[in-house]
Amino acid sequence: MKLTELLRDIEYEVINGDPEKAEIGSVIYDSRKAEKNCLFVCITGANSDGHSFAAEVVEKGAAALITEKDVLTGNSPDTVIIRVKNTRYALALISAAWFNHPADSLKIIGVTGTKGKTTTTYLTKAILENAGHKVGLIGTIESVIGDSHIPSKNTTPESYVLQETFREMVDNGIDTVVMEVSSQALMMDRTAGFTFDTGVFTNIEADHIGPNEHKDFDDYLHCKSLLFKQCRFAVLNGDDRHLSDILKDSTCDFITFGLNKENTLGSDNDLRALNEELIKVPGELGVSFDIEGKQIIRKVEVGTPGDFSVYNALCAAGIALHYNAGEDAIRSALKSARVRGRIESVSVSDKFSLIIDYAHNAMALESLLLSLRKYEPSRLICLFGCGGNRSRSRRFEMGEVSGRLADLTVITSDNPRFEEPSAIIDDIETGIKKTGGKYIRIEDRKEAIAWAIKNGESGDLIILAGKGHEDYQEIEGVKHPMDERVLINEILGRKVV
């Protein structure tokens, strides 16, 4: 492809060479993969800067470089060097052009929020498929293209991978994509180069704030809001107190959903849940409710507990109604859909219940424990750890939440990364001690789970929080295999999940 075709939608300056003469054989942003006739986009990352490898990729035969600052390329008079303001933004637009703008052939639904993104995408996919759409999915757990399930490295992939995935979806006859959109992805322009058909906002609270993420909550909030400047229509949590900030400078049409009659903008929620009833049967905790407002659907059931489950279901229903899904498609999908690692029940005993969930911050953990409290367990036992090389405040906050709301906390290890697990546990313990809550420390996660199962009593509800769908433990830069379902099978000596 001609370089000028890839640059058609980009403002740029030619620093060296003639773009008209450059033929591009591949688009590369990892210097290790540079090859003859490639277009190399110099990306500045957290740990390395692609600009530093300019001479190396030229030596490998790169036809052109996209840069945002000066580079040293050695003796390369024919190599085209293009200067842009932002190479990440340029990569997104170049990638869209390279794959012939596949997003133009898709209805793309982007879901953002602090929690609920994964569950909402799976619920939406299930409803829309019931309604006859062919739906692809991109998210934290996996990308789904027809019968293919590809494990994810990021919640939202790099722009090149995202456009490549869109192209594969189009080629496989998919008409609709539902995807998670992280604040990091919006900040790094991974979703630039196309317009979302629908943007979705689940909720927002302080999270992902730290040296390698967002500098403060205002920055986090701003990045979330960017989605709603890039979509035609929006489905929004009308109960969230930050809704007006999310919609700032947005021009899209929207509907709101919530548990309250009036949203935080001062008008009525378009969809609301009424008449909630808890569902408590062996092996299942759930909730039923009625949907009222612009659409009335009676006795909707979801097989997971809590108000957050109602919010997720309302959100998915709001999306589905925008795409003309019928009442039957909505009701049947919400009742049957399950998401790995999100309030996932595991049948380990007839005496007590055990649930695996991804709750890995204070907001999510508090919401989860408050919801489970409503089912009146004999004891609510919370087992969790916190990831290393992340904000220390999360550890204190989660410790305080569990100490206050659980009858017993089992503090263990999560992904310690480059920190000592015991030091992370010390921080969690500091938070728990503020509450006077009961706790024990068991650093090895398998031993901790085994202890919780062995000591489970009749009527107990045990929650394994933090890992959810993850099947690894990250220690000193290495991801070691570790799936809580496998651990449970090994502990019990039989396959239960």
One DSSP character per residue, 169-193 reads HHHTT--EEEEE--HHHHHTTTTTT
Q: What angle do CA 321, 324, 330 make, to 5 degrees?
A: 55
What's the Cα-to-Cα distance from 472 to each of 142, 386, 487, rounded to whole Å?
15, 14, 11
Report residue 207's pLDDT band, with 50, 70 and 90 as the boundaries.
Answer: low
**pLDDT digit string (tens) for 1-11?**
999 999 999 99
Q: Is 379 exposed, middle or buried (0-12, 13-18, 19+ CB in 10 A)?
A: middle
Considering the four listed CATH numbers 3.30.750.24, 3.40.30.10, 3.90.190.20, 3.40.50.12780, the one that applies to the domain covering 344-492 is 3.90.190.20
Q: pTM of this prediction? A: 0.90
Q: Where in the chain is the domain with CATH 3.90.190.20?
A: 344-492
Residues contacting residue 84 through CB under 8 Å, at least 6 positions apart: 10, 11, 12, 13, 66, 67, 68, 90
Q: Which CATH class is domain 3-98?
A: alpha beta
As separate numbers, helices (DSSP H) first and strands (DSSP E) second, the chain gives 15, 24
Q: Which CATH class is domain 102-269+305-336?
A: alpha beta
Average pLDDT over the chain, rounded to an integer: 95
**pLDDT digit string (tens) for 208-230?**
566 566 678 889 999 999 999 99
Q: Residue 204 has which token pair? A: 């927002």
Q: Rounded to whole angstroms, how far apart are CA atoms 203 and 114?
A: 6
Q: Where in the chain is the domain with CATH 3.40.1390.10?
A: 3-98
- Cβ proximity of 342 and 304 under 8 Å: yes
In this structure, the number of other CB atoms found within 10 A of the CB of residue 80 comes to 23
Report residue 284's pLDDT band, with 50, 70 and 90 as the boundaries.
Answer: confident
Q: What is the largest CA-CA distance in the chain?
A: 77
First to last CA, the chain: 49
Report residue 455's pLDDT band, with 50, 70 and 90 as the boundaries.
Answer: very high
Q: Where in the chain is the domain with CATH 3.40.1190.10?
A: 102-269+305-336
**Average of per-residue pLDDT across 21-34:** 97
Instruction: Write the DSSP symbol of residue 390.
Output: S
Lateral strand order in the sheet of 13-16: 13-16, 80-83, 64-67, 38-41, 26-28
In the chain, pLDDT over 90 holds for what percent of residues? Answer: 89
Q: Rounded to whole angstroms, how far apart are CA atoms 116 and 359?
A: 10
User: Which has the closest alpha carbon to 177: 255, 111, 98?
Assistant: 111
Q: Is the pLDDT of residue 340 over 70?
A: yes
**pLDDT digit string (tens) for 155-204?**
999 999 999 999 999 999 999 999 999 999 999 999 999 999 999 999 99
Q: What is the pLDDT of residue 363?
A: 85
**Average of per-residue pLDDT across 455-469:** 95
Q: What is the pLDDT of residue 45?
A: 85
Q: Residue 74 has which token pair? A: 């050695």
Q: What is the pLDDT of residue 217?
A: 87
CA atoms within 13 Å, Cβ hemisphere of 95: 27
Q: What is the pLDDT of residue 105?
A: 98
